[in-house]
């Protein structure tokens, strides 16, 4: 397996898992935290958790991102490459904003001390790592795999 193929699988799988997590949050789960108040404080940095609509919208965006990173639509490799590059850019912006302490520019009101600590220690570095893997995946769309034969 090539590095590009591994990056594509890793990124698409992670984005799909994150979409699933947002669906779970949308139906009322607080996992991995004990209750919705702790969830709101640690995950969104606000006193109240987001509503189902917001969670489902993010889940949809993450699902679409996973498809683009996976090289869909296959018949339009330039579109999937551009879309995957956009996903990498958005993830990179999110990670940089969090590490710089300016997440409020992207998510006004996300200001709890617990959230900001977790954002700098975990969320933002994970976004940057996912952005890097996604960028590698994006660069491979539309190119035949090394050693692959075409029918």
The enclosing H or E element of 15 equals helix 3-26
pLDDT tens profile 77-107: 899 999 999 999 999 999 999 999 999 999 9
Residues 6+ apart with CB under 8 A from 54: 26
Say what the alpha-carbon torsion angle 77, 83, 84, 87 is, to the nearest 10 degrees: 180
Closest to 105 (Cα-Cα) out of 119, 88, 126: 119
CB 130 within 8 A of CB 91: yes
In degrees, to the nearest 5, what angle opens at C-alpha 130 toward C-alphas 129 and 132? 65
pLDDT at 146 over 90: no
Across 1-17, average pLDDT: 95
C-alpha span between 54 and 25 (Å, rounded)? 10
CB 103 within 8 A of CB 127: no
Question: What pLDDT sits at residue 150?
Answer: 39
pLDDT tens profile 99-130: 999 999 999 999 999 999 999 999 999 999 99
CB 149 within 8 A of CB 85: no
Question: What pLDDT sits at residue 145?
Answer: 53
> How far from 22 is each of 12, 27, 51, 150, CA to CA, in Å?
15, 9, 11, 38
Across 8-13, average pLDDT: 97
Tell me the pTM: 0.89
């Amino acid at each position: 397996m090539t590095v590009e193929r591994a990056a594509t699988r890793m990124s698409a799988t992670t984005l799909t898992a994150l979409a699933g997590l947002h669906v779970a949050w949308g139906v009322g789960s607080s996992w991995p935290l004990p209750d919705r108040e702790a969830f709101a404080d640690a995950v969104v940095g606000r006193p109240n958790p987001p509503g189902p609509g917001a969670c489902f919208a993010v889940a949809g965006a993450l699902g679409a991102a996973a498809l683009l990173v996976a090289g869909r639509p296959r018949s339009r490799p330039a579109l999937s490459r551009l879309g995957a590059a956009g996903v990498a850019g958005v993830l990179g912006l999110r990670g940089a904003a969090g590490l710089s302490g300016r997440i409020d520019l992207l998510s006004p009101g996300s200001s709890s001390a617990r959230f900001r600590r977790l954002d700098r220690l975990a969320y933002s570095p994970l976004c940057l790592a996912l952005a890097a893997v996604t960028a590698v995946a994006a660069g491979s769309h539309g190119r035949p795999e090394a050693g692959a034969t075409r029918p």
